[in-house]
Amino acid sequence: LVVLVVFACKKKDDGGTPAPADPLVGNWLIDEIDVQGDVTFAGTPLTFTGNGANMVGGYNLKADGTMTYDTQYDIEVVITGLGNQTIPMSQSGSGTWKKEANTLVIIDQNGTQRYPIKVVTADILILDQDTTISQAGAAVNLELEMTLRK
């Protein structure tokens, strides 16, 4: 006598909704850049403001935590007492990204960069960065706000 028993199981539907997709994942294009700051050059304190121009490219943040970027843009600055200057910028590379609290952390060939997130929605990302960089032997205090869109 052969007994054949077949079990059929149905997955229990708990009525829950799937976890929302991470709004940071996607291809973000640079839309706007605003900068301001100060520097002491040859003993003279100078302030500046500026905006991005000729912006091309952006950042591709992938769900697996990897990322690539390729950007070109100009920063058009007005330096108090010295007038206007255009600074061309170009960056490309790859690495990893993660969100820690309200900060976007990017790790790439240049090291680790932390960008406080001011706004993140499904299609707008606004990042802040306050930093000091060395430029031509002077310490430049820089506040940058970058708006990206999907």
| Residue 86 vs residues 52, 95, 131: alpha-carbon distances, Å | 10, 29, 20
What digits encode the pLDDT tens for the residues 89-131?
Answer: 999 999 999 999 999 999 999 899 999 999 999 999 999 998 8
Alpha-carbon gap, residue 136 to 140, rounded angstroms:
10
Q: Report the predicted TM-score, pTM, of the whole model to 2 decimal places.
A: 0.78
Highest mean pLDDT of the ranges 43-47, 82-86, 118-122: 118-122
